[in-house]
């Protein structure tokens, strides 16, 4: 077996073995996670605002713990039954405390996000202005024009100035 075929075989075997790990928990064949494939209006937004009460580090939309899965199922079931997202959030706060909210009420995180967004917008506008200025300054010469005609010194003048400056520096 030549090295090219061996490399291809290794790549394919790695790909086949690694695919289930790349699929993530939402694509497992676990019956408990099967109902997450169905779209429930408002579920994703609410799940992104609730912290997993097992470790308090990630929101339940990305956390893979059993309690996060149970809470996601509960949220989807209650939303499907017609309960509002605000009522569900309020009941979760009553059950787990205000720590369950990813962004507690009165937090300055929202205003920091707005300021960061405005800063990024300003940086983008500044970059566009600088880019346009750079493009105008480095605009190509019109057809038939020479750099000397555009105000740049010709080679003889430049050589003479460089030689004069070098001579002056050697004399010091």
CB 56 within 8 A of CB 107: no
pLDDT at 106: 75
Q: Residue 40 and residue 168: Cα distance in Å, rounded? A: 80
Residue 150, classed as helix, strand or coil, is: coil
Q: Comparing C-alpha atoms, which of 135, 155, 137, 134 is closest to residue 146?
A: 155
pLDDT at 29: 39
Q: Comparing C-alpha atoms, which of 75, 25, 27, 33 is closest to residue 50?
A: 75
Contacts 24+ apart (CB under 8 A), 157-161: none
pLDDT digits (tens, 9 = 90+) for 21-62: 555 444 443 444 446 777 888 888 899 989 998 888 889 989
Q: What is the pTM of this model?
A: 0.47
pLDDT at 152: 60
Q: What residue ranges do the domains of the chain occupy?
A: 1-32, 38-107
Tokens, residue 169: 């520096």
pLDDT at 15: 59
Spans in the chain with pLDDT lower than 50? 24-34
Q: Residue 73 and residue 66: Cα distance in Å, rounded? A: 11
pLDDT at 155: 78
CATH number of this structure's domain 38-107, picked from the four choices 1.20.1250.20, 3.40.50.740, 1.10.8.640, 3.40.50.2300: 1.10.8.640
Counting runs of H as helices and runs of E as strands, what totals does the chain give? 6, 0
């Amino acid at each position: 077996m030549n090295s090219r075929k061996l490399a291809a075989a290794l790549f394919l075997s790695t790909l086949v073995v690694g695919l289930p790990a790349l699929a993530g928990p939402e694509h497992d064949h676990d019956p408990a996670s099967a109902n997450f494939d169905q779209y429930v209006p408002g579920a994703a937004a609410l799940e992104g605002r609730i912290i997993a009460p097992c470790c308090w580090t990630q929101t339940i939309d990305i956390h893979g713990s059993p309690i996060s899965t149970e809470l996601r199922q509960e949220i989807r079931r209650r939303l499907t039954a017609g309960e509002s997202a605000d009522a569900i959030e309020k009941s979760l706060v009553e059950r787990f405390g205000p720590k369950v909210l990813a962004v507690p009420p009165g937090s300055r995180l929202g205003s920091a996000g707005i300021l960061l967004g405005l800063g990024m917008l300003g940086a983008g506008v500044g970059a566009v202005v600088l880019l346009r200025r750079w493009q105008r300054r480095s605009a190509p010469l019109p057809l038939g024009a020479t750099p000397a005609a555009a105000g740049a010194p010709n080679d003889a003048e430049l050589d003479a100035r460089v030689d004069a400056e070098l001579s002056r520096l050697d004399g010091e």
